[in-house]
Structure 1
Amino acid sequence: MYKSISLFSGAMGLDLGLEEAGFQTQVCVENNKFCQQTIQSNRSWLRNRDLPVLDDITEISPKEILKVAGLKPKEVTLVSGGPPCQSFSTAGRRNSIGDPRGSLFRNFIEVINVVKPRFFVMENVKGLVSAAIRHCPLKERNKRPLEPEEELGSAYKVVLAEIKRLGYTYVEGVLDAVNYGTPQFRERLIIIGSRDHEDIFLPIPTHFMHHQDPLYRWNTLKETIMDTEEDPGPCGRFSEERVYYLKQVPPGGNWRNLKKKEIPVAMGGAYAAAGGKMGFYRRLDYDQPCPTLVTSPLHKGTMLCHPKHTRPLSVKEYARIQQFPNDWGFEGSLVASYKQIGNAVPVGLGRAIGMAIRATINGDKTVKVKRMRGTSTHNQYKSNNTRQRKVALSS
């Protein structure tokens, strides 16, 4: 087993995937009390140790984390986590996220600097790639040149510069979990770093929209949650008004399937507003992967109605879609459970990332992948002319 430290652990979706790839979590750092309880109730070896789940990363030194893990600098194979950023949008009005050096990202970097793991994995929302440090209102953008901190992507440039300053090389990219066996469209920004400048690479997709072999096609909702229909477990409830409208919507449909004369009333102020409306009165399709899970299936603009029954997805179905084990429990209220699962990294994506790192550790020169069309497998060599960007210190 390869020893790892988990930061911003949440409900351990990323960690479970990494564990499936051969990494063993030594300590978790997570300040949400329900997530802490979830970790402790599911991980006996953490529960039985002194301070197995550390609290606020802003109040804990990296040396304390090492002490609890029983390790010294450079003895940790992997540090992983997703330092939260302020919310921002990838469309329409963009909000600034502030200088990453003054955020929780700074704490993540400081742990890497002190612990000096052989590898690290940082995950985040894809919008970080284009986020600015400081927001410039749209009405001002055509009136004057943008200052460097107002440029789109300026925050991400700081993130990458800080990683490079530590002496780590890295690969980075936006991965969609559906391409790694998760029955859900879910894009995440992934950065993998190497202390010793090893030949690291992003995981190669294993599942495709079209493939001659069904085993290599995207996984669907039917395969994932159909057996929960009779016993879905704890579940939220739509209001009577929303149930009335949702009964008009077929699988795969949304607000556009409502009676035309009722659409303005059903949509309210959103009807005339700009921006996407795909999630309004959305009923899922058994024959497709699930849209991205959010922190609640009840929100009007991001509804996740069951394909067959007029109810939101249950906690059990949420967990299945995120690929948590069936016996993995979530502590706290119904709202807290949905939030923990909706914020998680899919287990399958975590496993794919872990296996890519394992390939580097084992010195594998090739990675078996399935051709998108045809039936044979071929070896794809890791090289600098792949679509991934490997950044060397000399660049």
Structure 2
Amino acid sequence: MPVSKIEVSGTPQIVKNYCELGNMSIEANSVDSYVCKLPIISLFSGALGLDLGLEKAGFQTRVAVECNKFAADTIRKNRPGIPVIEKKIEDVTTEEILEIAKLRPGEPVIVTGGPSCQSFSTVGQRGSLTDPRGMLFQEFLRVIRETQPQFFIMENVKGIFSAAIKHRPLKERGLGYPPLEPEEELGSGFVEILKELRDINYYTVFDLLNTANYGVPQVRERAIFIGSRDGEPVAIPEPTHAKDPVNDLVRWVTLKEGLEGLEDKNPLYRNFNASKRQFIQIIPEGGNWRNLPPELQEQAIGGAYKSWGGRGGFLRRLSWSQPSPTLTTNPDGKATMLCHPTECRPLSVKEYARLQQFPDSWEFSGSLSQQYTQIGNAVPIGLGKAIGQAIQKVIQSDQKMIKRTGIYTREDLLKRLVNRPRTMLSPPNMWKIKDREAAREWMNGHNRNRIEILEYVSCYQD
């Protein structure tokens, strides 16, 4: 097992030899004490976020692979010491990654990555595993197979759990349409992901984590997968915060607390257009479209009023006394609005970055839209730090090694995955044939994915 971040005393030459043995970088801690930091390979790096959190837990990013030129420039601007490979992952060989990181197969301690997740998202036009963006998961696994890191971390939207191999548009489901094919069922794509994870022979745990439970001033759910090459007992980090705290947990961090001390005298943001402004200016702190007078509600949110009845993100004004909702990449969109609690404007770029816990000095490249996108796509630094600390705990443990294999999650999450419906239908008022009993029959049938998930996933081992 590689040595973790550890203080090593002695002459500079002794420390140098000790750290070089494990291909670790050296950082001075005092006159005669040094810290050896363990190497990370970062894929789909974005503006960094997950990796900054891991660095707070004692790791070091040795190379970043990021094809977006604005995100790549953001990394270079803020962390010039990190080599950036500005290419699509499918155009980068593992040999090139290892060479630039100055590592050999088996030496990376962690490979991190969040394969582009738009195709799994429930926001906007949902895709499938056959979407080219969904296929980036295969590239992530390719680098893991060829670099053989001690651990890997993969993060994604919670929609990955219900990803389908083949997407059928919502308007083409239900009575009057052909029965679902197995590949169109919710979770069919996730089953394929599980098969791939099994085949790399890592001991893997996964869960759906709320970042607010780790001290982040934002309610944001992310799917987190942690894998161990050698079967170490890796575990999902335990929460430190809660909405209603008990025992040693503390209360969620509010928006006001999260933005405390931020200097943003000339906030950079996109103005609401006149149509949105006329409604948002009469919505109170913590409210949304439902706080409008009844005669204005349908006019304010348009067709969504009759389809889904409107959702909480429509014309949303934030509350100082609550964490922020998930930061989207479009804070001035009608359905994804993140309006300042007391001012008639979206959250600014600096406020966005603070809620993702980037340093206040962090500079983002590109247009205003590109900056919001980089920040909104990032993993909050607090969650990355918690994951890094969980891995450090395993590395530093001196308990006897027991080789573990398989894929594991919480019992309640496994039940949710197994018991979910085969698909989702439009609201009944939008059905071509309004027959609830017949709709239930259309929805029924053999759900292959429920059985297959149980073949690949078990509850956590003791």
TM-score, length of structure 1 as denominator length: 0.86
Unaligned runs of 5+ in 1: 366-383
| Structure 1 residue 275, shift from structure 2 partner | 5.6
Report which stretch shifted further, 132-141 or 280-289: 132-141
**Closer, same or farther: CA 44–244 of 1 in aligned 2, 3 Å:** same
SS at match of 2:209: strand
Match of 2:389 in 1: 355
Shift, 1:131, TM fit: 1.2
Partner of 1:163: 197
Aligned-partner Cα distance in 1 for 2:81–2:217:
30
Structural mapping, 1:267-278, within 5 Å:
267-274=301-308, 276-278=310-312
Q: What SS is found at the alignment partner of 1:64?
A: helix
- Residue type of the alignment partner of 1:237: N
Taking the TM superposition and a 5 Å limit, the aligned residue runs for 1:1-395 are 1-46=37-82, 52-88=84-120, 90=122, 95-98=127-130, 103-136=135-168, 146-211=180-245, 216-228=250-262, 231=265, 233-274=267-308, 276-363=310-397, 387=411
Shift of 1:76: 0.5
> Counterpart of 1:269 in structure 2: which amino acid?
G
Structure 1 residue 134 displacement after superposition: 1.1
CA contact (8 A) 1:100 1:159 kept: no
Residues in 2 aligned to 1:40 and 1:236: alpha-carbon distance in whole angstroms: 26
> Could you give the per-residue CA deviations for residues 162-208 of structure 1, whole angstroms, max 9, x where no partner exists?
12111111001111101011111110111000100110110111101
SS in 1 for 2:307: coil
Residue 152 of structure 1: how far off its partner (Å): 1.6
Q: 1:175 to 1:339 in 2, by over 3 A?
A: same
Q: Secondary structure at the match of 1:359?
A: helix
- In the TM superposition, residue 260 of structure 1 has moved relative to its aligned partner by 2.4
Question: Partner letter of residue 222 of structure 1?
Answer: K
Tell me the secondary structure at the aligned position of residue 391 of structure 2: helix
In the aligned structure 2, how far is the partner of 1:91 from the partner of 1:31? 23
Q: Is the Cα contact below 8 Å between 2:115 and 2:133 reproduced in 1?
A: no
- Structure 2 gaps, min length 5: 1-36, 400-407, 415-455
Deviation, 1:391, is 5.9
Q: Distance in 2 between matches of 1:267 and 1:304?
A: 15
SS in structure 2 at match of 1:288 = coil
Distance 1:62 1:93, change over 3 A: closer
Counting aligned pairs with the same residue, the percent is 51
The verdict on how the C-alpha distance between 1:281 and 1:364 changes in structure 2, with shifts beyond 3 A counting, is farther
Which one has the largest radius of gyration? 2
Residues 147 and 230 of structure 1: CA distance in aligned 2, closer, same or farther (over 3 Å): closer
Q: State the number of aligned residues.
A: 371
8 A Cα contact 1:85 1:104, kept in partner: no
1:209-240 CA-to-partner distances (Å, cap 9, x unmatched) read 12369981100001122544862531221123
User: How many Å separate the matches in 1 of 2:52 and 2:124?
Assistant: 35
- Cα 1:118–1:241 change in 2 (3 A) is same
Whole-angstrom distance in 1 between the partners of 2:309 and 2:38? 45
Asked whether the 8 Å contact 2:262–2:360 carries over to 1, the reply is no
What displacement does 1:35 show? 0.2
Separation of aligned partners in 2, 1:84 and 1:101: 6
- Contact 1:94–1:131 at 8 Å: present in 2 too? no
CA 1:310–1:364 in structure 2 vs 1: closer, same or farther (change >3 Å)? Answer: farther
Per-residue deviation, 1:8: 0.1
What TM-score do the two structures reach when normalised by structure 2?
0.74
**CA distance 1:213–1:44, shift in 2 (3 Å):** farther
